[in-house]
Structures are given as structure tokens and as C-alpha cells.
Amino acid sequence: MQNGKNIFNKNNQAEVVNISPFGIWVLINGNEFFINYNDYPFFKNATVKQIALVTSDIQGNIHWPELDIDIELSALEHPEDYSLVYH
């Protein structure tokens, strides 16, 4: 809750749909996004359980509470606008 408002929205549920040696696929708002370990290396040593526990907020931003990782939905939708690699 933030300022008395629930910032999580059941309509923007995120779901990890696949985990591979190269990255993970997340389904949110009916769109599937690939999160490459080369671009997001903090997932490389995470467990399947930690990766699978994903939530999203009302804007659709994705959160991994056990890993303390947040990714803005716009960074996945428009990676060309985010030229830096996350470390």
C-alpha cells in the first residue's frame, strides 16, 4: 500500500512463463517479454523459486521481492530507450 492505495493491480499480473540458461520470459498485460541474463545479470544466480515469485504494480512495472529487483515495463517495451546494461 502506498498512501492508503493498493499499488498492485490484479489486471496487471505478471507471470514467469519460461526460464532458460539464457534468460527468462515474463507475461504481463497479454505481452511476453524476454529478459536476457546478459542485460540483467542479477538473475543469473537466482533460484527458480526466486525468479518465479514475481509481482507487478498498477503501471505494470515488474517486481521480484525476494531478489529486490524492479524492472520498469517501459524498459522491456522500448529497450532502445534504455541503452545502459543493468548490473
**Residues 2-19, buried b or exposed e (16+ Cβ, 10 A)?**
eeeeeeeeeebebebeee
| Domains of the chain as residue ranges with CATH | 10-81 (3.30.2020.40)
Q: Where are the strands (E) in 20-72, listed by range?
A: 23-28, 31-36, 55-56, 62-64, 69-71
pLDDT tens per residue across all 87 residues of the chain: 444 444 444 555 899 999 999 999 999 888 999 999 998 999 999 999 999 999 988 877 899 999 999 999 988 888 888 766 555
